[in-house]
Amino acid sequence: MLETFSIRAVELIETAKNLVKINSQTSDVDTVSTFYLLLSMFNANDTICHFLLNELDITQDDLYKSYNELTIKESPQKVFSKEFETLVLNATNLAKEVKSEYVYDEHLFYVMLEDKNTLGTQTLINLNINIEQLKQDISDIFNFYEEQIFIVDKVELKEPTYLINLSKQIPVHSYIERKDYINQVIYILSKRQKNNPLLIGQAGVGKTALITALTKIIDIDIYELDLGCLISGTKYRGEMEEKLTDAIKYVINKNAILFIDEVHNIVGAGSNDGSLDAANIIKPYLSKGKLKLIAATTLDEYYKYIEKDKALTRRFQTIFIDEPSKEETLEILKGIKQNYIDFYHIDIPDELLEYITDLCDNFILNKTFPDKAIDVLDETLSRYTYEKKDLKSLVKEVINSHQGITIPTINELLNYNLYYNEFKTLYLRKIKPINILKNLGIVYVDKSFNNGLFQKDLNKVFGLKKENFLELDLNDYLNSESITNLIGSSKGYVGYSEGGILYNHLLKYPFSIIYLKNFDNTNSYLKTFFNNLFKKDYIIDPHSRYVYLKNTLFILEKTELKYKVGFITNNETNTLNSDLIITTKIEESNELFNNLLKKGIIIEGFKNLSITDQINIYYQALLKPIGKYQITSSKTLESINTN
C-alpha cells in the first residue's frame, strides 16, 4: 500500500503508530486514526502541517485538548482505521493527479483536510481553524492545481531596461572564504518547496557580492530588478504593475533567477487606491512555483516590513549573513588584491593588508567588515597614484579623513608638549591597540582638573574637535527615571523617537570623551548603569542600534581624591584603593598586566620617571611574555617577578 510513498511519508506513518502505542498505556487506544497522523505531521518540523499550524500558534496541547472533546470515533480495523486507509488511497490518487512521483506529507495533509468527517480534520475544526484557507495555502505553495494565467509562452520577449543580467557583469570582488553561504543558497534553490533564499545581514557584509559570485558558479542567468528604474516614469494607475509583470514573465521565459536587493522596498511599492503593491504581484508567481527569487535586506528592515507580511515571509527561506571576523576579512583582502594590482599597477604586500584590517577594526566602528577595509584599501591606492607617499602613511590619512581624527606615531607622541603629559601612556593604547580593553579608558579626577586644557591636548594629539566632548553633570540626574534622558525612552513612551543624549552622541561621534561631573553624588541606579557600561565593548540602544565604546574615554570627577602616583612600596601596598588617577578595564585572563598592577604600577604616570620611561614600561608590559624581566629607566628599578 505504501510502495509509492516517500521515505519521509513512511516515517510519519510509523511515528503515528508509535504514538498510538504510547497512548495505549494510559487509554484503550489501539488503532491508528487520522488524528495520530495529524499529530505525527505536526511534531515534525519539516512538514507543511507543522509550518501552517505553527503560524496559527497551535500547540500539541491544543490538539490533544480538542481531540479529547470530540465524541465521534473512526471505524476500527486491525491496525489502521478505515478512514486512515481511505486517506492513504486518496493521497496516492492526488500524487498521480498532480504528476508527483511519490506521495509526500503535503498530499497526506491536503486529502485529510478534504474529508471533514475524519478525526484529524474535526480536531482542527474544533480549534476554529479555517480548513478551506489551509487547503488553499497548501495548493498555493505546492502548485497542486495550476492555473492557465501563470503559464508563460516560450516566445522571444524583449529584455526590460530595468533588469540587469548579473551573469554578464564582471564581478568587482570574488567571494573569498565565505563559500558556506554560497552553498546554502545553492541548496535552497535546489529544494522542492520554499526554494527562494532571503539574505539578511547588516549593510556592507557582502550580500550582493555573494550573488555576483553565485553567477559564476551556477549555469543559470541571474537578473537583478532595479526597483528605482521600475517605478520611475510610471504616471498612470497599473503602469508599474504591468512593467513588473513583464519583467517576471521575461525571467520565467529565460528559465532564469530574479534577484531583488533591498527587497523591503517592494512592500508598498506602487500601491495606491485600486492598485496592488509589488509584493502582492510577486506572491502568486512564487506560490505557483513559476518564479525563483533571491532577495536581500537588512535585519532591521526585515522585522519592520517583511516579517509583518506572513504570506510573503513563508515563501522565503532565510539566510542570516554575519559580519566576517578580522581574520576572515584579511583572507578576503588577500583574495581580491590581484584585482587592485591589475587596476592600479601597484604592488600590495600582505603586511599592508594586515595594517589596514588592524586600523579599521580599531578606529572605524560604525561600518562593517569587509566593506570598510575594502574602502580604505581602494582609497589608499587611489591616493598613491597622485601623492606617491608611503602606503602605511596614506592608510592613516584615509582613516583620519573617514573618522575625523589623526593617528600620531609613538615618536610624535613623545615629542608633544601637553598640559597633561601624564596621559601619554593612555594615548598609547590607541596607537598600539590592546584588544582585551573594552574602552579607551576611565580617568578619575578631582575638581581642579581643567577640562578645557585637556581638550586642547586631545586636539593636538588626535585632532579632536569640541564636538567630540560631552560633559554631563550627574547632579542633574538624581532620580532613577532621569536615565531615560541619557539612553532614551522605551518603545511606546514619549521621546522614543528622539533617543537619549549619551547614546545619540556616541552614535554621531564614535571617538568620544565623556566627562561625568559629580560622579560620587549620583544615585546608585545611575552608578550601576555606568559601571556596567565601562565593562562592555558595545551597547544596544532602544532602537536596536549598536553603540560602540572602544574609542570612548570616560572622565569621572570625584569630590575627594587622594593622588597616589608612581610605585607603591611594600609599606604602602595596603593603601592602594580606588583613588588611583587612572584605572583600566582588563580581562582577568591577562595575568601579566594584572600582576603589574598588583605590584604597584599605576597607568596614570610615574612621579619620578620621565614620560619616555613610562611608555617604555607600558610598552614592554604589553609585549613581554609572562615571566621575569628587567625594566631599565632613569631610576633604578628592581626586577619585577610576575609569577
So what's the pLDDT on residue 574? 34
**Kind of pairing, strands 293-297 and 222-225?**
unpaired
Q: Which fold has domain 438-557?
A: Rossmann fold (3.40.50)
So what's the pLDDT on residue 394? 93
- 498-531 in b/e burial notation, b at 16+ Cβ within 10 A? ebbebbbbbbebbbbbbbbbbbeebeeebeebbe
Which 8-state DSSP code applies to residue 118?
S
DSSP calls for 15-66: HHHHHHHHHHTTSS--SB-HHHHHHHHHH-TTSHHHHHHHHTT--HHHHHHH
Fold: same for 163-320 and 438-557: yes
So what's the pLDDT on residue 571? 40
Q: Which fold has domain 7-145?
A: Double Clp-N motif (1.10.1780)
Percent helix / strand / coil, the chain, rounded to 5: 50, 10, 40
Q: Contact at 8 Å (CB) between 542 and 300?
A: no
Q: Contact at 8 Å (CB) between 280 and 269?
A: no
Q: Contact at 8 Å (CB) between 291 and 169?
A: no
So what's the pLDDT on residue 638? 32
So what's the pLDDT on residue 72? 63
So what's the pLDDT on residue 192? 75
So what's the pLDDT on residue 29? 63
- What is the mean pLDDT for each group of 10 consecutive residues in the chain (643 residues)? 81 88 69 87 87 87 86 63 85 83 88 87 90 84 55 56 81 65 90 87 88 87 88 76 88 91 76 58 81 91 84 88 90 90 93 92 85 93 92 89 78 82 70 49 76 87 87 84 80 76 87 86 84 81 79 77 38 32 33 42 42 52 36 29 31
So what's the pLDDT on residue 199? 95
CB atoms within 10 A of CB 211: 23
Q: Residue 236, class by beta-carbon neighbours within 10 Å (0-12 exposed, 13-18 middle, 19+ buried)?
A: exposed
- For cell 518540523, the residue is 45
Amino acid at site 628? K
**Kind of pairing, strands 197-200 and 317-320?**
parallel
Which 8-state DSSP code applies to residue 324?
P
Q: Give domain 163-320's CATH number out of 3.40.50.300, 3.40.50.970, 3.30.300.30, 3.30.910.20.
A: 3.40.50.300
So what's the pLDDT on residue 624? 39
Q: What distances in angstroms separate CA 120 from CA 10, 76, 126, 291, 521, one per listed residue?
A: 18, 15, 10, 33, 67
DSSP calls for 509-545: -SSEEEEEETGGGS-HHHHHHHHHHHT-SEEE-TTS-
What are the residue boundaries of the structural domains of the chain, listed by start?
7-145, 163-320, 327-403, 438-557, 589-641
Q: Which CATH architecture has domain 327-403?
A: Orthogonal Bundle (1.10)
So what's the pLDDT on residue 615? 52
The H or E element spanning position 455 is helix 451-462
The Cα–Cα gap between 210 and 173 comes to: 9
The Cα–Cα gap between 513 and 452 comes to: 12
**Report field, pTM of the whole predicted structure over 0.75:** no
So what's the pLDDT on residue 151? 42
